[in-house]
Amino acid sequence: TLLPDPMGTLEALKVLKAEGLVVLCYTSDDPIMAMRLKDAGADAVMPAGSPIGSGQGVLNPWNIRIILEQLKAGDEKYPIIVDAGVGTASDVTIAMELGADGVLLNTGIAGAKEAVAMARAMKLAVESGYFARRAGRIPRKLYATASSPIEGVIGAKE
């Protein structure tokens, strides 16, 4: 299935860290397991957006947000890299807008009809999502609200 074995990953992490290695842990989008991996010494946590090679994108953005919030609490520079399931540039943009530090992908580019064009699209998507996150989105609202100023509009009552 190519899904991660969370307990096996945790055990392997402990062994590898004891040997002094840098370990970037691929895991599911389970916030509790992500925290356990960080607490056990993972140098980065890489939650799956969806199963490897599936092209389904970020299936559970809420869990990715929770992972980002919890693992970066008190340590903003701790790296979270969305890994797996990315199918197109919009998937990358979403991951970056959520606050991921990066996106690890292969199949989305390797399997594209035009791999070079898709690689360029992915690069631009990283930049787009990064800058959108920094700029800050408007709040989501149930109802519409006018955003255009009334003052100075020709024909507006003063």
- The mean predicted confidence, pLDDT, of the chain is 89
Q: Which whole number is the average pLDDT over 77-97?
A: 91
Q: What is the pLDDT of residues 17-38, one digit of tens each?
A: 999 999 999 999 999 999 999 9
Burial class (CB in 10 A: 0-12, 13-18, 19+), 46: buried
Percentage with pLDDT > 90 across the chain: 63
91's CB contacts (< 8 A; 6+ apart) are 49, 57, 58, 85, 103, 108, 125
Look at domain 6-135 and name its CATH class.
alpha beta
Q: Which whole number is the average pLDDT over 110-127?
A: 94
Domain ranges of the chain: 6-135
Q: What is the pLDDT of residues 33-66, one digit of tens each?
A: 999 999 999 999 999 988 788 888 898 999 999 9
Beta pairing class for 102-104 and 81-83:
parallel
pLDDT-based confidence at residue 145 (cuts at 50, 70, 90): confident
The pLDDT value given to residue 156: 61
Structure tokens at 158: 């003063």
